[in-house]
Structures are given as C-alpha cells and as structure tokens.
Amino acid sequence: MNTQAKKYTKKDFVSNQEVKWCSGCGDFSILSQTQKVLSEIGRPPEEITFVSGIGCSSRFTYYMDTYGFHTIHGRALAVATGVKTQNPDLSVWVAFGDGDGMSIGGNHFIHTIRRNLDIVCIMMDNRIYGLTKGQYSPTSLRDQITKTSPFGKLEAPMDPVAMALSSGATFVARSTDRNPKHLNEVLHKAYQHKGFSFVHVLQNCVIFNDGCHEPYVGKEKADNTLMLKDGQPMIFGKENDKAIVRDGFDPKVVNVADVDASEILVHDENSSSQGQSYFLAQMSEGKFPMPMGVIRQVEEPTYDGAYTEQIAEITAKQGQGDLQELLDSGDTWTVE
C-alpha cells in the first residue's frame, strides 16, 4: 500500500467544480481531509464512489474527483446499499448531514448499519437544516431557537452515535471539523475497518448555527472532550487532571488525584461487549466530556461479503445458472 500511496496527491481527488459552501463552513475542512486521506490510502479514484443525499453537506460528491451519485433527500444509504452490494470491490463512501441521516433517512441509517454494509459513512452534524435556511434538525438542542422554533425547540435531541450503536454499528467514531489531524486519523481507521464505519463529525454552520459545537472545538475543548485512545485511561482536562470512573451503571467525572489509578476506566475500542460503548454514548449530554475518537470497532460479517460468499456457495452446489435448464425445469408436458 505504501508504494501505491505515492501515486496520488490530494489534487487527484479534487473535482473541477467550484465549491459553493458558505465561506467559513465546517464542510471545507471535512472535504479537504477526506481528499487527503484518499490520496494517502492510495487507491485509484475510479475505485471510489461517493453517494450523498440532499443538503449542504451532500454536495460533497460533486467536489470529489471520484465516481459519485448525488441522490435524493435521506436515501444516500439506500442507494449505497445497491452500489456496494452489486460491486463489493468498490470503496463506497456516504457523505451526508444530520437531517438526511437522522430524520428523513433515519430508517435507512438503522437498517444499513444492521446489515453491516462495508462502507464509510460520514455524517456532518451541524444541528440545523442549512440548505433550507435554518430550521431545527433532529440533533438540534432542546430550547434551541431556530426559524421553526422561534420560542425554543420542544424536542430532545437525537444522538447519532447512540443511534448507530443501538443499531449494532461495528465501527463508531466521532471527530470535529476543527481538528483536522484527529479527523484524518479517524477517517483512516474508518476506511480500514471492514464493515459499516460511522464517523460522526461535529461541524459548524457559520450562517444558521454558528458556534453550536464551540464547547468541544473552542478554547475550552480540553475540559469538554474526552480524547479516546485504545488501551489508555479515560483522562481529560487542560491539566489532564480529570478522569472517568464508573458509578453503578453511570459515568462519573472525578479528579485524578482523588481516586486510585485502577478505578479509572481504560478504553477498549475492540470490546465485543456493547457495555462500554453504550456507557460512552451516554456522555454526550453536557455534564460529561464528549468522547472523541474511535468508540467501538468490532469485526462482524459484512452484508456484501456474506452475499458474495453465499452466491459462491450456491453456485458451487447448484452449478452456474443455465437459462434453458431453468426454463425447462418443473412439471412440464409436451404436446406432439
């Protein structure tokens, strides 16, 4: 792979289309990292297919010099299911937003994850509908003021990571538009994972929801995020002085100095049990630091892989299909 890697530069993945996102949009950074990661992976652009839905972030496909299918609102994962199932040799990437993935396309999100389709799925979550100019999305916060909630949003937000985990996702990670190095690492891991790789990217909408992720990307981010590292204790804070311990079934933030080192939870991203990942999923609501990095990565059969195997098995057993034989089969009779 390393020898191949030298063959491509980021420019090989940049299409000739003018990028039309608003100046300062978080999507620029995500697009740029994705193009960089692909050049580093070193697969020829024609082996890569991007599928997107509708919304600002879904314009992504037009900006990638790969194969691309910009579909309809919410349906990117359903279309990707067809592309990847039909041709498992392609590297299929879905790029979409929180409205596409969590709201109108929520059903496809659940079921594509359940199938463990071997694709990378990047959700750019700005907690707002941008392209329709500022309505609340499923991930908008309670009480958030938007064009359709001038007196405050009445609903609780949906957490894409928790949703992915409860659907049985085999790879779940979180990153942000403001930490390109981290995003780069996460995207590489997502690509390497065999199975559905869900990458939740906290992304800023400079026009309609500016600063929505500020606690996790701004000056105070060290106190508000938990940078997960496999095999490392869950310690965070500007001074690395805070830690996560278990309090019954709940997380608890403590001072490192106040507890025995053995009480501090150690991240195991490959844990086959969902216990730890659900535990981490609870930590996205304000009173805890937001976990960043790979939350869960486990190996399970992929849909497209299993499909290829099943066809091979059936063909080995029954022989290659023969149309005349099929037509002639069954209860037949001959009229002389």
Site residues (vs another protein, CB under 8 A): 15, 17, 44-47, 49, 51, 54, 61-62, 64-72, 75, 78-87, 89-90, 107-108, 110-111, 307, 310-311, 314-315, 318-321, 323-324, 326-328, 330-336
Minimum separation from the CB atom of position 93 to another protein (A): 11
Nearer to another protein by Cβ, of 9 and 17: the residue is 17
Nearer to another protein by Cβ, of 97 and 291: the residue is 97
100-106-112-118 Cα dihedral, nearest 10 degrees: 40
Pairing of β 197-202 and β 120-125: parallel
Minimum separation from the CB atom of position 44 to another protein (A): 7
CB 139, CB 112: distance < 8 Å:
no
Count the Cβ atoms, other than its own, within 10 Å of residue 17. 12
Pairing of β 225-227 and β 290-297: parallel
**How many angstroms separate the first and last alpha carbons of the chain?**
65
CB 7, CB 104: distance < 8 Å:
no
Nearer to another protein by Cβ, of 72 and 162: the residue is 72
Nearer to another protein by Cβ, of 84 and 193: the residue is 84
Minimum separation from the CB atom of position 125 to another protein (A): 22
Minimum separation from the CB atom of position 314 to another protein (A): 5
Nearer to another protein by Cβ, of 88 and 180: the residue is 88
Tell whether the torsion through CA atoms of 71, 158, 130 and 217 is positive or negative: negative
Nearer to another protein by Cβ, of 77 and 234: the residue is 77
Minimum separation from the CB atom of position 54 to another protein (A): 7
**Cα 195 from Cα 209, distance rounded (Å):** 33
> Which burial class, exposed, middle or buried, applies to 325 when counting CB atoms under 10 A from its CB (0-12, 13-18, 19+)?
exposed
> Which burial class, exposed, middle or buried, applies to 253 when counting CB atoms under 10 A from its CB (0-12, 13-18, 19+)?
middle
Minimum separation from the CB atom of position 285 to another protein (A): 28
Minimum separation from the CB atom of position 108 to another protein (A): 6
Place of tokens 């025995």: 260
Tell whether the torsion through CA atoms of 136, 122, 296 and 233 is positive or negative: negative
Reported residue count of the chain is 336
DSSP state of 103: I
Nearer to another protein by Cβ, of 1 and 316: the residue is 316
48-78-170-306 Cα dihedral, nearest 10 degrees: -80
Nearer to another protein by Cβ, of 279 and 307: the residue is 307
Minimum separation from the CB atom of position 104 to another protein (A): 10
